[in-house]
Amino acid sequence: MFQDIEPLQFSNDFAWADPEPFDRVLIYRGSSVVVANTDDGVLRFPSYQALLEAGVVGSAVVAASAAKLSQSHSMSQSSSQPQSASAPSQRFSSQPQGISAQPQRTSSLPKRMDGKHLQALFLFTVGNTAYFRCEINDEKLDELLQGPLELVPVGKLRDRSPKHRVFAGMVGYEYHQFYDTHRFCGRCGMPLVHDLVERMVRCPECGCMEFSRLFPAVIVGIVDRATDKVLVSRYAGRPFKNYALIAGFCEMGETVEQTVHREVREEVGLRVANVRYYKSQPWPPSSSLLFGFFCDLDGDAQLRVDYHELEEAEWIDRADLPVDEDYSLTREMMDVLRRGEETLFPVL
């Protein structure tokens, strides 16, 4: 799946740090991300230095040594991108640093609780490469788009390589969604400010706190043991028309196991038994954490399709399941079903 980037490691420990020349900046417009315009299909995100020289980002200045970094952020194994000049222990800190203010720039970065206006915000590392969200000069960025830079839909990143950069672009989109949709307090409407010690924004007026959120959801592969057929569906009202498995979000007050039974019952009118947990996957486009399950049909195989949720559903032979890459949990589960290996996982 897209998050399988070994031997590189992903670290999203919250820290304060200023970007260095070869760090990467993730810029999103709508559901698209800014990448280097190349013909070789290799995914490259713009460096902080290149954007700084083009006037797209402003200068971020490390504070005086009085704010020396007391807690280090561990950066792991090397990547194919050039490495930053400073050693990891000299860069990342849970203690706030001073960031110089640059006027006349659009921004979706919150102010910090201490009143500092942020030019850049550290997001995470993949391998030894650090990724940042920066305040952007949109006019300067427009000059580079369709030239050295281009916008690529986040969903199309799967067509690029290497995988660890695809992962960074996907996860960065989830961070983008969080900061972009948490600018104002949902209780009193005041602008939110960034906490000093953790990735959280809070209201300076009423104290309301907003943390990054994940929405748990289930993917369900159902097998009719009597016919050895597998249930597939197609979503209603979505551009994605390929085969999918039954899926749905958890509701308040229920476990993911209970969600399996409810979603299957609601979408296709079936009952299931012998629920087996497979594995999970983060899914940044919807800020979801997907839980994959296999199960057996329990009783009548007659489908009663909810056409509000699904365009269609049908039982098909295992051999007719699509052969595709393992980018998503759904496709990987289909591969398991095609090989008849779903019973290798224990019943809950």
Task: Using the Cα atoms of residue 47, residue 50, residue 54 and residue 55 in order, give the sign of their dihedral.
Answer: positive
pLDDT of residue 257: 96
CA distances from 335 to 312, 325, 327 (A): 21, 9, 12
Domains and CATH numbers, the chain: 10-181 (no CATH), 215-341 (3.90.79.10)
Calpha distance 163→12 (Å, rounded) = 18
Give Dmax (Cα) for the chain. 72
Q: Which residue has the tokens 């995914």?
A: 43
β-bridge pairing 229-235 and 310-317: antiparallel
* Nearest C-alpha neighbor of 30 from the set 235, 285, 211: 285
Interval 12-44: pLDDT, tens: 999 999 999 999 999 999 899 999 988 887 999
Interval 171-181: pLDDT, tens: 999 999 999 99
pLDDT of residue 92: 66
Burial of 132 (0-12, 13-18, 19+ CB in 10 A): buried
Q: Which residue has the tokens 């009202």?
A: 237
What is the residue-level pLDDT of the chain in tens, covering all 348 positions?
989 999 999 999 999 999 999 999 999 998 999 999 888 879 999 999 999 999 999 876 433 222 332 333 322 233 344 444 344 445 666 666 554 444 344 457 899 999 998 889 999 999 999 999 999 999 999 999 989 999 999 989 988 999 999 999 999 999 999 999 999 999 999 999 999 999 999 999 999 999 998 999 999 999 999 999 999 998 876 666 688 999 999 999 999 999 999 999 999 999 999 999 999 999 998 999 999 999 999 999 999 999 998 999 999 999 999 887 778 999 999 999 999 999 999 998
Measured between its terminal Cα atoms, the distance across the chain in Å is: 24
pLDDT of residue 238: 64
> Residue type at 332?
E
Cβ 156 vs Cβ 140: under 8 Å: no
> Which residues fall within 8 angstroms of residue 339, CB to CB, at 6 or more apart?
none
Calpha distance 80→346 (Å, rounded) = 39
Cβ atoms within 10 Å of 53's Cβ, excluding its own:
11
CA distances from 252 to 47, 181, 274 (A): 42, 22, 24
pLDDT of residue 64: 27
Calpha distance 97→125 (Å, rounded) = 19
pLDDT of residue 100: 43
pLDDT of residue 108: 74
Is the previous residue joined to 7 through a cis bond, with omega within 30 degrees of 0? yes
Calpha distance 31→111 (Å, rounded) = 24
